[in-house]
Amino acid sequence: MTATPLLVASGLVRRFPGPGRGTVAVDDVDIAIAAGERVGLVGESGSGKSTLGRLLLRLDAADAGTVVFDGDDLTRKSGRALLPFRRAAQVVFQDPATALNPRMSVEELVAEGLIIHGLHSADRGARVRALLGEVGLDDSVRQRRPHELSGGQKQRVGIARALAVEPRFLLLDEPVSALDVSVQAQIVNLLAELSRSRGLTILFVAHDLHVVRHLCDRVLVMYRGRIVEEGPTEAMFATPQHPYTQALLAAVPVADPARRLLAVPVGPGNSDEPAVGGCRFRHRCPEALPACDVDVPALVTIGTPGRRVACHARR
Amino acid sequence: MTGLVARGLTVAIDTPTGPVNVVDAVDLSVAAGRCTALVGESGSGKTLTALSLVRLLPTGAHISAGRVDLHGADGSVVDITALDDAGLRRVRGRRIAMIFQEPMTALNPLMRVHDQVGEGLEIHQGLRRRDARIRATALLERVGVPARRASAFPHELSGGQRQRVMIAAALVSDPDVVIADEPTTSLDVTVQAQVLALLRELVAERQMGLLLITHDLGVVAQVCDDVTVLYAGRVVEQGSAVDIFADPRHPYTRGLLASMPSVAPRGKPLPAIRGVVPPLGRWPSGCRFRDRCDHASDVCSTEPPMVQLGERRIRCVLEATS
């Protein structure tokens, strides 16, 4: 990576208590995101992708590891000391219906961040109107409450809210998963447009690989708490390396009855399997080697710079 | 034909301003050994259509017109809209079974899965608990739940396994028709692919008719033989999957297909359909899609004709004039 990273996390670990030794939701993850970069983070449910997003935004505290934003180590900071970071890094959640306070009007929702950060006290109304225009909402929605809006409109309010404080970094946690297909495309286009016009750095968390393909420069693939592959979007889609990435891409249903998936390339996921020791994907992997039972594969560069994969079978 | 045939099926919801037809004169066939897709976005009426086929509509909604004929392999025909409660009990779960979207809420959390699957056998076939369990376990194994998991509670299973349990429960009485409402929507893509492959196998193996309700055209292409596209409670396009994916005719079907991120080229804006699905009953007059349609003209304010082109049906004035 040539540009200075805006966000760098090293050795992030997050454990949740549970039966036995509990669950390691995020297991020793390193991540660096350059200013202006649009990064996709994909994985299935339970892969830890949302937890990793929350750790990066300090919405949750890591059990180990550091998060550095723009040269500022946030690891030991809390409360008011995080306020400048809270302005610089914003989030848009998956389900706008639960992310928006049902008793607040659209105007109040969008202005909330401005009030907290003491911004635009003189021309707040005009600022809110400009933001609504920027996300494609008509001025007439200002006095409405979330229940009076469609799913797409709610998500636009969520985006306007995040943009109000002029963040540099935006975490998008499955922002289009809850939307209708015809509306999903509108929001993906809006996000692409905004990231360009505002020069935003974006981490896009999603399970839909094709949405990520449209929006992101680089993709990280997560499986059971670890990054198993990363690389530039085009290369990753053209030649996925990790057997899990290959399975993910192959399993996305293609809208063509002539190209039906005859066999699924991986075994079924099974919650019985122990998560410790060796490669976590080995029970489902068609290429598992003896080494996979013993050693956790490290994320190593293969081929071109920026292309990394954690797989014994790819050495 | 064996299977389910709905003609002019209309479901009305009572509102303060009078009844609204949320499902409006829908024609639909689910033939044995075939998979029919019912495609639509939220608010299209696809779930209400499915529920009306087995008369499970929520309070306030009722079938106001049309009929639903269940054709048996023996040549018998039953109109489900005319059945009394006893008649419905002989059909529901026995000849027509349902698979719901969210297995965690559809399954009883306090019952072991072999008993939930076996319950259908006890009720419909009068088996004793012990024998029902044995048959249930065999069915569970057929759908890919290992026998050692048969005595598990739903929370001990993964999302994919829970959905397999739902499928096994639907199969207990060897139904003529299975209605699956978004059966893979909450599943991960690799698991979704496995469940879809299983459904396809079961349709072929048991010669049952499958009505698959979904908003995902990718899923439709992977599994279904026939497709019905609903918009605002009306059928806008109907035909074979091969034909519709090769040559979508209705502007809404075209828009839906084009806006799929897997279909559209990278680096360009996705071709989105403008506007939003209108709320129930707040549809424009004439063609209900015309507010969002790039081809709309004045003529679209009158009722669009249903145009028949061979096997294909399209509700659009463009097809009538071309």
Contact: A192, B269; criterion CB under 8 Å:
yes
Nearest residue, CB atoms, A188 vs list B189, B242, B270: B270
pLDDT band at A167 (very low <50, low <70, confident <90, very high): very high
Q: How far apart are CA B320 and CA B168, in angstroms?
A: 45
Contact: A251, B192; criterion CB under 8 Å:
yes
CA distances from A236 to B209, B261, B267 (A): 39, 16, 15
| Average of per-residue pLDDT across A108-127 | 92
Question: Does a structural domain hold residue B33?
Answer: yes
CB atoms under 10 Å from CB of A75, counted, come to 15
One domain for residues B38 and B163: no
Bigger pLDDT: A150 or B38?
A: B38
What region, left, alpha or beta, does residue A41 occupy, with left being phi > 0 and alpha being psi -120 to 50 degrees?
beta
Q: What CATH number is attached to the domain comprising A246?
A: 3.40.50.300
One domain for residues B143 and B37: no
One domain for residues B61 and B179: yes
- Shortest CA distance to A168 belongs to which of A311, A57, A11? A57
Question: Does a structural domain hold residue B35?
Answer: yes
Could you tell me if A258 lies within 8 Å of chain B, comparing CB atoms? yes
Nearest residue, CB atoms, A251 vs list B193, B216, B279: B193
CA distances from B77 to B70, B74, B88, B179 (A): 6, 9, 14, 19
- Shortest CA distance to A175 belongs to which of A106, A121, A285, A97? A97
One domain for residues B179 and B161: no
The pLDDT of residue B217 is above 80: yes
Contact: A256, B245; criterion CB under 8 Å:
yes
pLDDT band at B101 (very low <50, low <70, confident <90, very high): confident
Question: Does a structural domain hold residue B299?
Answer: no
Q: What CATH number is attached to the domain comprising B63?
A: 3.40.50.300
CB atoms under 10 Å from CB of B147, counted, come to 11
Chain A residues with CB under 8 Å of B270 CB are 185, 188-189, 214
One domain for residues B111 and B166: yes
Which residue type does A82 have?
L
10 Å CB burial of residue B291 (0-12, 13-18, 19+) is middle
Report ipTM for this prediction: 0.83
CB hemisphere CA count around B137 (13 angstroms): 13
The pLDDT of residue A42 is above 90: yes
One domain for residues B194 and B246: yes
Question: Does a structural domain hold residue B320?
Answer: no
Question: Does a structural domain hold residue B133?
Answer: yes
Nearest residue, CB atoms, A253 vs list B157, B158, B221: B221
Per-residue model confidence as pLDDT tens digits over A211-266: 899 999 999 999 999 999 999 999 999 999 999 999 998 888 888 888 887 667 67
Q: What are φ and ψ of residue A225, in 5° steps?
A: 90, -10
Chain B residues with CB under 8 Å of A248 CB are 189-190
Residues A100, A154: contact at Cβ < 8 Å? yes
Q: Any alpha helices (H) in chain B, and if so which ranges? A: 46-53, 85-91, 103-106, 113-125, 129-142, 159-171, 189-206, 217-223, 241-246, 251-258, 317-321
Residues B213, B46: contact at Cβ < 8 Å? yes
Question: Does a structural domain hold residue B37?
Answer: yes
Per-residue model confidence as pLDDT tens digits over B265-315: 887 888 889 888 888 888 999 999 999 999 999 999 999 999 999 999 999
Contact: B277, A180; criterion CB under 8 Å:
yes
Q: How far apart are CA B215 and CA A181, in angstroms?
A: 7
Q: Please report the number of interchain residue pairs, chain A to chain B, with beta-carbon separation below 8 angstroms.
A: 143
What's the total number of domains in chain A? 1
Q: What are φ and ψ of residue B79, in 5° steps?
A: -90, 110
Could you tell me if A238 lies within 8 Å of chain B, comparing CB atoms? no
One domain for residues B179 and B169: no
For residue B229, the enclosing domain spans 3-95+175-285
One domain for residues B109 and B155: yes
Ranges A60-69, A76-85, A252-261, B52-61: which has the least confidence: A252-261
The pLDDT of residue B113 is above 80: yes
One domain for residues B158 and B191: no
Contact: A180, B266; criterion CB under 8 Å:
no
**Residue A144 has which token pair?**
């409405």
For residue A40, the enclosing domain spans 5-314
What's the total number of domains in chain B? 2
One domain for residues B111 and B167: yes
| Average of per-residue pLDDT across A119-129 | 91
Question: Does a structural domain hold residue B219?
Answer: yes
The residue among A181, A221, A233, A270 with the most chain B CBs within 10 A of its CB, best to mutate, is A181
Average predicted confidence (pLDDT) for chain B: 93
One domain for residues B204 and B267: yes
One domain for residues B90 and B210: yes
The residue among A256, A260, A262, A273 with the most chain B CBs within 10 A of its CB, best to mutate, is A256
Question: Does a structural domain hold residue B310?
Answer: no
pLDDT band at A1 (very low <50, low <70, confident <90, very high): very low
